[in-house]
Amino acid sequence: MAVPNAQRAFLDMTRALRNTIKLRFRTWVVQTPANQAVGQRAVTAGTWIGIPPADGVLATGGEGVVHVWCKVDPATNLIIDRVVVKLVVSGWARFDLARTWHGGVGQEPMECHQSNLVWANMAPADRKYILSCLGWGDVDRQTRRYKLYYEYCDHGNLNKLMKIQKPKRKKVGKSKKGRKQFPEPFLWYMFESLAKACVAMEAAYTQGLMHGDLHPGNRKCLAGAIGMY
């Protein structure tokens, strides 16, 4: 029998169990994080509604599920805030690792601590290039799960933007559409923002830091910025 990958605890589950976790998370009543991150904006209580699709979630990964909720003004039904919540299903092996946490097992998730440490090491004008963690909560030692709170990146990810540049397929009886090119200034801006994020990561750690899942799909796009989860 193959040894389970500690970073794939969620994907190593049966499909039925994964679907059950996704459904329960999708219908979860949003609570403010038990631990608001220092220096970040607060996630406040109110009427939070999960976005469609009603039978799914925003995304899944090796360690869990991600979905976005919108805070609605009950008087106007207008959206006044958005937050992404990541349900981390770490599994027994990874949950009990000291390096998964800052301050001891079950304390602040290292993922939250690391992102905010890098954020704090950047100049205030450049902090938009790092996706900071807003807080964490629901640390459950029995199920080896916890939740992380992030800003919602409304422009998708870099992989989505790259696909826009690909030529369209030619349809019968229709001319082929041209590519939607990125302006060159935007490309230089994007590379500069990524470089600034890398410099901040290097400055924040004396022993080095490696991102084991570095690809365009993990580069999130905020309005006017390229953020990094």
Q: Is 90 exceeded by the pLDDT of residue 198? A: no
Output the pLDDT for position 228. 46
Give the separation between CA 128 and CA 220, rounded to whole angstroms: 11
Quick: pLDDT tens for 27-85: 898 889 999 998 899 999 999 999 876 668 888 888 899 999 999 999 999 999 999 99
Q: Given the DSSP bridges, would you call strands 47-50 and 145-150 parallel, antiparallel or unpaired?
A: unpaired
The set of residues, in sequence order, having a beta carbon less than 8 Å from that of 149 and lying 6+ positions away, is: 33, 43, 83, 84, 85, 86, 133, 134, 135, 136, 137
Instruction: Give the chain's mean pLDDT.
Output: 82
Output the pLDDT for position 1. 37
Give the separation between CA 170 and CA 15, rounded to whole angstroms: 37
Give the separation between CA 86 and CA 67, rounded to whole angstroms: 7
36 and 89 Cβ atoms separated by less than 8 Å: no
Give the separation between CA 51 and CA 71, rounded to whole angstroms: 10
Q: Which CATH number, 3.30.420, 1.10.510, 1.10.8, 1.20.1070, labels domain 6-228?
A: 1.10.510
Domain boundaries, the chain: 6-228
Quick: pLDDT tens for 126-151: 998 888 899 999 999 999 999 999 99
